[in-house]
Amino acid sequence: MPAPERIPTGSLTAVELLAKGELTVRGRIREASNAVLYCTVAYEGESARCVYKPVAGERPLWDFPDGTLAQREVAAYEVGAALGWDLVPPTVLRDGPYGEGMVQLWIEPLAESTADAAQDGDPGAGGLLALVDGEEPGEGWKAVGLADVGEGRTALLVHADDERLRRLAVLDAVINNGDRKGGHLLPTEGGRLYGIDHGVTFNVDDKLRTLLWGWAGEPLTEEAVAALTRLAAALAPGEPLATRLAELITAAELDALRGRVAGLLSDGVHRSPSGEWPPIPWPPV
**Given the rule CB under 6 A, which residues bind ligand ADP?**
29, 32-34, 36, 51, 89, 104, 106-107, 183, 186, 196-197, 199
The closest of 67, 101, 73 to 89, measured between CA atoms, is: 73
Q: Shortest Cβ distance from residue 196 to ligand ADP (Å)?
A: 4
Q: Which is nearer to ligand ADP, 3 or 236 (CB)?
A: 3
Binding track, positions 77-116, relative to Mg ion; x by CB under 5 A:
----------------------------------------
Binding of Mg ion by 197 (CB under 5 A): yes
Q: Shortest Cβ distance from residue 176 to Mg ion (Å)?
A: 17
Cβ atoms of residues 228 and 170 within 8 Å: yes
Cβ atoms of residues 188 and 125 within 8 Å: no
**Which residue blocks in 148-285 are alpha helix, DSSP H?**
163-175, 222-234, 240-246, 251-267
Binding of Mg ion by 253 (CB under 5 A): no
Q: What distance in Å separates the CA atoms of residue 282 and residue 188, rounded to the nearest whole number?
A: 24
User: What's the Cα-to-Cα distance from 259 to each of 205, 206, 236, 281, rounded to whole Å?
Assistant: 12, 12, 11, 24
Stretch that binds Mg ion, among 59-67, 108-116, 142-150, 194-202 (CB under 5 A): 194-202
Q: Which is nearer to ligand ADP, 34 or 221 (CB)?
A: 34
Q: Which is nearer to ligand ADP, 4 or 278 (CB)?
A: 4
Cβ atoms of residues 56 and 66 within 8 Å: no
Q: Shortest Cβ distance from residue 273 to ligand ADP (Å)?
A: 23
Residue 88 CA to chain centroid, in angstroms?
6
> Site residues (CB under 5 A) for Mg ion?
197
